[in-house]
Amino acid sequence: MATFFEEESHTFSEYLLVPGYSSADNVAANVSLKTPLVRFARGEEPQITLNVPMVSAIMQSVSGPKLAVALAQQGGLSFIYGSQSIADEAAMVREVKSYKAGFVVSDSTLTPEMTLDDVVELLGRTGHSTMPVTEDGTPHGRLCGIVTSRDYRLSRDPRDRRVREFMTPFDKLVVADDATSLKAANDLIWDKKLNALPIVGAGRRLVALVFRKDYDSHKSQPNELLDQHKRYLVGAGINTRDYAERVSALVEAGADVLCIDSSEGYSEWQRRTLAWVRARYGTSMRVGAGNVVDAEGFRFLADSGADFVKVGIGGGSICITREQKGIGRGQASALIDVCRARDEYFDETGTYVPVCSDGGIVYDYHMTLALAMGADFMMLGRYFARFDESPTNRVSVNGQYMKEYWGEGSARARNWQRYDLGGDKKSLSFVEGVDSYVPYAGPLKEGVEGSLLKVKSTMCNCGALDLPELREKAKITLVSSTSLVEGGAHDVVLKDANQQVSINFR
Ligand code: XMP
């Protein structure tokens, strides 16, 4: 006879936190969000600790090098997506590890033969008005000049005007060589009254840009997540097929931690992959595994050596696994069950294996709930896809800026390894995800700061100054569908119809 779970499964929106006593010390500035990323033995310190409990999803539309740097600056960590060639993934890891704060690799590059029309299109797509012009249009090509909004007038100039006719040419630019320090670059920017300074290497090759507006933000990154050489920490996704070659390349590129990316992790394939990495690298390379949705799955992965265990099947915003295959579990119920198993495992074995809640976070308060229910940290896809730093295009849809966001199981990503069940098949048999838009939400820094301020504020309401205290003190209640209505603006006519949307997504 099949096993029936006694309770129906629930998701975050069905719960609320009931406030506890807040002492005078319970203010957001006193709250710590530090949390372990990888397993550790009782009495020992974890090898990697996050400064904020957020990691970005292992997805093409989320975790590229730019987002990885922006998130590490805020104290979280990205897992560079594995659904690309080994060489490309390793190159992205290398890019993060070699990132020099303040030196920006342009994502808005032109060629001299492009037109004003192309400039306008690029501006709309990236939102960046400073555009280097290189011979081949690549970010590290030979620099020919720069276009900024001061170089053209949209009301006057014909749209087919060539970039070479109106750009500020190389010989009129102030540039610095690639040995220049950030401090020297900033001094030059101030002395020469520049907005951007191109850093140029041998053969006039463009290396990076340093921007005046970034100066202040580079001075204060109190939470940034750095390794012992002051480089940003970065993770990378792997699969259970080509791990022998992929892991070696990622380790060599400098990845700090790995994660097996799979829709269903309670499998022999994950056990073998974990065993291989452990045999080859010992504890010098840490690997997370998943996804599972119950205690049994957790135990299996913990016993197999997973350094953290990811929870969640079918709850992601772009996921259709539940509809396609009928597998999964409400994210909150899955998380509660697995966190209980983690605590029992710790009591029994003395080893703490952190739990990551993956997918299904929509509102900021869902984060606080996930943490209160026991998650050590959260993996977020939709949330990060909305920011400037995600790798996808910003597009205007019905007059509103959106970012593209697609699932790894969609026809667009074709990440068959994530849905692999062994055998000879090497393609996606059927889709398990969709291709979509999410409302554009500006720079990651502002978004993350805003969300975490809400998390900290709620923690204070619960009388908690750190995550273990939140777990201990949280009082969590299920809500009826009628009281859900009571929780939003109700029985009033909103003056601005967009208000509810902006409340939901801010
Ligand atoms: P959110 O809700 O943060 O979820 O957007 C991100 C997580 O969703 C998972 N993921 C998928 N699941 N089909 C699925 O069933 C897909 O195409 C897909 N793509 C990503 C993944 O766990 C991610 O972290």
Q: What is the pLDDT of residues 391-424, one digit of tens each?
A: 999 999 999 999 999 999 998 988 888 888 877 7
pLDDT at residue 48 tops 60: yes
If you average pLDDT over residues 42-46, what whole number do you get? 96
> Do 89 and 162 share a domain, yes or no?
no
Does the pLDDT at position 425 exceed 80? no
At 482 the pLDDT is 84
65 shares its domain with 27: yes
Q: Does residue 475 sit within a domain?
A: yes
The CATH number of whichever domain residue 187 belongs to comes to 3.10.580.10
Length of the chain: 506
Phi first, then psi, for residue 457 (nearest 5°) are -65, -45
Q: From the CA atom positions of the chain, what is the Rg in Å?
A: 24
Last residue of a domain, one of 218, 244, 272: 218
Task: Tell me how many domains the chain contains.
Answer: 2
**Do 56 and 143 have their domain in common?**
no
Instruction: Report in angstroms the alpha-carbon separations of 213 from 189, 272, 323, 365.
Output: 10, 49, 47, 32
Give yes or no for residue 217 having a pLDDT over 70: no
Residue 149 lies in a domain: yes
Beta-strand pair 351-352/308-311: unpaired
Asked if residue 427 belongs to a domain, the reply is yes
Q: With 80 as the cut, is the pLDDT of residue 265 above it?
A: yes
Q: How far is the CA of 114 from the centre of ligand 1 (A)?
A: 37
Domain that holds residue 399: 12-100+226-487
Q: What is the percentage of the chain residues whose pLDDT exceeds 70? A: 97
- Would you tell me how many other CB atoms lie within 10 Å of the CB of residue 330? 21
> Is residue 492 one of the residues assigned to a domain?
no
Whether residue 506 is contained in a domain is answered as no
Does residue 466 have a pLDDT over 60? yes
Comparison of pLDDT for 498 and 484, the residue scoring more: 484
Query: Which residues are annotated binding-site positions for NAD(+)?
Result: 261-263, 312-314
If asked whether residues 299 and 194 sit together in one domain, one would say: no
Question: Residues with Cβ within 6 A of ligand 1?
Answer: 57, 59, 263, 312, 314, 316-319, 321, 358-361, 379-383, 407-410, 432-433
pLDDT above 80 (res 358):
yes
Say what the pLDDT of residue 219 is.
58
Are 92 and 175 contained in the same domain?
A: no
Could you tell me if 211 and 241 lie in one domain? no
**Average pLDDT in the 225-230 region?**
88
Percent over 90 (pLDDT), the chain: 79
Q: How far apart are CA 440 and CA 450, in angstroms?
A: 15
Question: Atom 2 (ligand 1): residue with closest C-alpha?
Answer: 316
Inside any domain, residue 329: yes
Q: Same domain for 212 and 242?
A: no
Catalytic residue among 144, 319, 460, 462: 319
Q: Residue 216's pLDDT is what?
A: 60
Task: Please tell me the distance from the alpha carbon of residue 60 to that of residue 411, in angstroms, as a whole number.
Answer: 13
Q: What is the mean pLDDT of the chain?
A: 93
Question: Does ipTM surpass 0.90 in this model?
Answer: yes
Same domain? 385 vs 459: yes
- Across the range 160-177, mean pLDDT stands at 95
Domain boundary, last residue among 166, 198, 218: 218
356 CB-near residues (< 8 Å, 6+ apart) = 55, 288, 290, 308, 309, 310, 311, 375, 376, 377, 378, 379
- 441 and 356 fall within a common domain: yes
Phi and psi for 318 in degrees, rounded to 5? -105, 5
Classify residue 480 by burial, with Cβ atoms within 10 Å: 0-12, 13-18, 19+.
Answer: exposed
For residue 229 the two structure tokens come to 């050489």
Instruction: Say whether both 260 and 318 belong to one domain.
Output: yes
Residue 99 pLDDT class (50, 70, 90 cuts): confident
Where a domain ends, among 202, 218, 234?
218
Q: Ligand 1, atom 9: nearest CA belongs to which residue?
A: 316
CA of 58 to the centre of ligand 1 (A): 9
* CATH number of the CATH domain containing 59: 3.20.20.70
Q: So what's the pLDDT on residue 407?
A: 95
| 501 lies in some domain | no
> Does 419 fall in a domain?
yes
Q: 85 and 209 share a domain?
A: no
Tell whether 60 and 192 lie within a shared domain: no
